[in-house]
Amino acid sequence: MNSPPTTAALTLSLTGPFERQGTEAAEGVRLWAELAGIRLTLVDDRGSKTAAARAYAAWLNSMELLIGPYASGLVRAVAPLVRDGGRLLWNHGGSADDLAQPGVVSLPAPASSYFDGVVDQAVARQIDRLVVVQGTGPFAQAVADGATTRASKRGLDVRAIEVSSVDAEDAAGAAFVLAGRFEHDVAVIRRLRRAGQTPALLGAVAAGIPAFAQELGEAAEGVLGPVQWWPNDHTPEIGPSGTDFASCYRRRTSREPSYPAAQAAAAGYLAHAAHQRGLQGEDLPQWATSTLLGDFALDADWRQVGHHVTTVHWQGGQMVPIATP
């Protein structure tokens, strides 16, 4: 007799403020569940911490795998609940640095590393000034702090400002990076383009997903951004290669996959593999492996140290990876 399928559950924002990323992640995790034979439960949290927490509380004693929501704030809301229930939360959608904590198995590289490649590009282009536009919340704080720290170490003059304080004249001749929500990043770039003040280099967290160019059109050209995933042919230890996943995703959706989709699928493959191996919480910091997302390794503080972001720029309406110097 065949054993019953493994059960997995998660919430994602199919509506609400994180709808763009949530719907992409949903397609990725559904594809994983279909190919892996997982019985999946997916609930729309609408971007609500209360709705997400309610759903995970109901799953603590009924679901074998608990995969996290999208957005650091939502992960932060459900993580204590899952941890206190003695369960692991497989985090694909939150990269704020404070999420590195026992019981939260994070696949993404930390937010503080998002603009490492952009800062290095500024140095390579001999730009000596960096302006960091910081949004609200711990995620944006981590991204901005990471960019500021790396730029200072590389010898750049750094200035941090809030989204509400952006003046187009600040951009002239500087490396200008935006660490906020998608809508905020897009609005600032529109403002800069209209003012005709083109920075020497322009980077944005929002530039890492296809919706960025869909919203901005030609205004997206040349903008750099971080992505947690870029497909390649390397066969990982767990699950399919990135290119195989991308092919399956295209056949299913007729669209190119974004990194939120890949992250969600990779979390599913990793969680299922750990479940099959009988791994417990204390085993995770010693487990080094790889998925379609790339290398996976946690340090003693449960910080992701195996995986790193890729820096891309928009060229001819497409995201193109650039080599960091």
Q: Do 288 and 268 touch, CB atoms closer than 8 A?
A: no
Q: Please give the average per-residue pLDDT across 294-313, as a whole number.
A: 96
Mean pLDDT to the nearest integer, 124-139: 92
In this structure, are 26 and 105 located in the same domain? yes
Residues 98 and 119 reside in one and the same domain: no
239: alpha, beta or left? (left if phi > 0; alpha if psi -120 to 50): left
CATH number at residue 141: 3.40.50.2300
Query: How much is the average pLDDT of 203-215?
Result: 94
Task: Report whether pLDDT(241) > 70.
Answer: yes
Taking the C-alpha atoms of residue 58 and residue 70, their distance in angstroms, rounded to an integer, is: 19
What confidence tens digit (pLDDT) does each residue in 306-321 have? 999 999 999 999 999 9
| Residues 81 and 57 occupy one common structural domain | yes
- How much is the average pLDDT of 45-69? 98
Structural domain count, the chain: 2
Distance, CA of 176 to CA of 130 (rounded, Å): 6
Tell me if 313 is assigned to some domain: no
- pLDDT, average across residues 268-290: 97
What average pLDDT does this structure show over 67-93? 97
Instruction: Looking at the structure, tell me whether residues 157 and 174 fall in a common domain.
Output: yes
Let me know whether 221 and 235 are in one domain. no
Q: Which residue in 171, 210, 173 sits closest to 194, CA to CA?
A: 171
- Is 12 inside a domain boundary? yes
Same structural domain, 179 and 262:
no
- pLDDT at 261 > cutoff 60: yes
Stretch 254-263: mean pLDDT = 94
Task: Give the pLDDT score at 168.
Answer: 61
CB atoms within 10 A of CB 276: 10
Q: Which of 180, 202, 227 is where one domain is finished? A: 227
Tell me whether residue 133 is in a domain.
yes
Instruction: State how far Cα 150 lies from the chain centre.
Output: 20
Report pLDDT for 198.
80
Q: Is the confidence at residue 87, as pLDDT, over 60?
A: yes
Domain presence at residue 325? no
Q: What is the mean pLDDT of residues 146-156?
A: 96
Give the global pTM. Answer: 0.91
Rama region for 16: left / alpha / beta (φ>0; ψ in -120 to 50; rest)? left
Q: Do both 49 and 97 map to the same domain?
A: yes
Structure tokens at 124: 């390579």
d(CA 130, CA 321): 22
If asked whether residues 146 and 42 sit together in one domain, one would say no
Q: What six digits make up the tokens of 227?
A: 């992505």
Helix axes 259-277, 242-253, angle to 10 degrees: 120
Does 76 fall in a domain? yes
> How confident is the model over 160-183, as pLDDT tens digits?
888 777 766 677 789 999 998 999
**Rounded distance between C-alpha atoms, residue 178 and residue 225, angstroms:** 9
Q: Report yes or no on 134 lying in a domain.
A: yes
Residue 293: per-residue pLDDT:
96
pLDDT averaged over every residue in the chain: 94
In a domain, 243, yes or no: yes
**Same domain assignment for residues 84 and 95:** yes
Shared-domain flag, residues 199 and 121: yes
Local confidence band at 3 (pLDDT 50, 70, 90 cut-offs): confident
DSSP, collapsed to helix, strand or coil, labels residue 16 as coil
CB distance 193 to 202 below 8 Å: no
Provide the pLDDT for residue 230.
Answer: 94
Q: What is the pLDDT of residue 173?
A: 84
| 213 and 249 co-located in one domain | no
Asked if residue 219 and residue 117 are part of one domain, the reply reads yes
Which of these three, 175, 209, 227, is where a domain ends? 227
Res. 14: pLDDT tops 90: yes
- Per-residue pLDDT, 85: 96
Gyration radius of the chain over CA positions: 19
Q: Do the domain assignments include residue 1?
A: no
Helix 19-36 vs helix 242-253: crossing angle, to nearest 10 = 110
Residue 88 sits in which domain range?
7-109+230-296
The percentage of the chain sitting over the pLDDT mark of 70, rounded to a whole number, equals 97
pLDDT at 13 over 90: yes
**Following CA atoms 260, 266, 269, 273 in sequence, which dihedral angle do they give, to the nearest 10 degrees?**
-140
Looking at the predicted structure, is the pLDDT value of residue 1 above 70? Answer: no
The residue among 180, 198, 227 that closes a domain is 227
